[in-house]
Structure 1
Amino acid sequence: MSEQAPAGWYPDGSGSERYWDGAAWTAHVRAPQPAPPAPPTDEAANVFSKLGTAVKKAASDKKASKDEALRLHEERAVAAGRLVTSGIFGTSTIEIYEHGFVRVAPGGERYAEAEKITKKTPYERLRSIAFGVPEAERAHDTEGPGSPIEGAVMQAMSGIVRGGKLLTKGTAVGIAATGVAHLASNSARKSNLVIATDKTIHTLTNQKHNGFIQVSQKEHNAVAVALVEAGNAVLGIEPVAVAQPSISAPPDAAPPAQISVAAVAVTPSLSDRIRELSELHREGILSDDEFSAAKGKLLAGL
């Protein structure tokens, strides 16, 4: 090795590299090292630079969006004011705040327990809140024996006894556990709580899944009424005055008393009845023929 060669690693002729200290070989030996990669061309460097810039911008935009959402959430939390009331309706939890805000944790059809409000649940500005009272609350068991729904369920049950079309195992057990009359009227006891906000419209029901079928929780209807009263109060909406009906009042009788209600009862329409039958049909309780026969009976009553 020339004495002019700078210090460094050089092939020693034996397949290895030995360190030259600038004056003599040392005892330090290593395996041959790969050649360093060639520096990128101007075009490749430009592509990598743009890619890196795009990645950094995407990460920056994502963080900025997250920070903005957190800022708005905190602003709305302050604007909402104190919590007025909260309640569980079906599998959903609702909170109403004094300055016209609401938080909703909507449950699902397969939820057995109510969904909980968390610190991330958004504050939404309340626009309106209404409760649809089921007919069963106004006229107990109006879907009595002989009604299209119960008659259809009875036909489905008798089909099992005759060896006809079988229901699914879960549905059959559910019928045995709840009874045909209860199953037939359960859909009629379903009620809705509709909450409209500046973000979306929440349509909640008083039902939860008991492991076999959706079951209406009638006791939750009182919770819905209280939530409607609180919601209308923070919105500044006065309760609707409704006259107490009188079947046969004498000519000289006093005017009917006025009562305040938070929500007007909604009479289920024909489409509601057909929708109830459709739910039983979709769950496999009614066959195609039984569904068609029950729907025909409803339409015949027009």
Structure 2
Amino acid sequence: MMQAPAGWYADPYDPKTFRYWDGAAWTGHVAPRHVPQQLQIGERQAERNDQKEAAALAKVAKRDEKAASRTAAVEARQQQVSEWQAAQEAAKAQKQAYANAAKAQRQAELEATEESALAYWADVRFVGEKVSAKAKQTIRAHGQESEQPWLMVGSGTAGVLAAFHDRVMIVKTGTMTSFMAGAFLGGRITTFPLVDITSIEFNGQWLTGVLEILTPSYQGTANKDYWRGTNRSRNADSNDPWTLSNTLPLLKVVYQQALPEINELRKRIVESKKTQVIVQSTRSVSVADELRKLAELHREGILDDAEYATAKGNLIAGG
């Protein structure tokens, strides 16, 4: 205050009063302290401004806090979505890996099955029309694990003849074949042991014919025409070769192609009926017993040394 001009100032000795400064020192003149109206208005305005500024700052801070919270929530949601997508991708990749492994296994099994099938049918003589996969499956299922037919005569939708070493099968399976056989979606599968077959006949016409397996149960007593019964309902004609179990409608040209094999089949049928004679030894006395008897005769002098040696040698050679 030493440099302040003369005037009323806040009393340094009493906060409730003003004291006059004469420019050099404080005087004894005092007056009650009061704030001029303009100063009060200015202070109130400043206070309101401060309050507004503080409110605005608080509002901004709250808005920033909400924005930060929303940002955090969005980031958390994005993180969750990213994790979910990653999990989905991992699950998808795992599923695809399983599918690929299963596909590879199925392919390997299919290839192995195809290789097995090729090996199974490699030595079979096929004659006539193509044999369906269904018929092959049926024939293989009716055979032993290590055996296969040596002959297959295919007749399209009429069926197939399969000849094993000890039996003959006529198989009529498959959608169209089973329908023509009067067993729709089922089939007729008949096995004839060679020893039971009395004859194999072919009733031929101009272009077609019927191959017939004859046994004591199936006799060739009726004309089984290739076309017989084809214009009637299935099983309506008891002599319809398409529905009978021992007949195979066959084109004449196919029969001629298969004739060498069918003749061989006829020969095997004849051979299967030959009586087998088993010769068993009737010897009831062992060689050792015979040797003991010879030794006893030699000791008793009935046989001399030369006779004993000859008899012993013959017994050992024949025993």
Give the TM interval when normalised to the shorter protein. under 0.3
TM-score, length of structure 2 as denominator length: 0.27
The structure with the largest alpha-carbon Rg is 2
Using the size of structure 1 for normalisation, the TM-score is 0.28
In proportion to residue count, which structure has more helix? 2
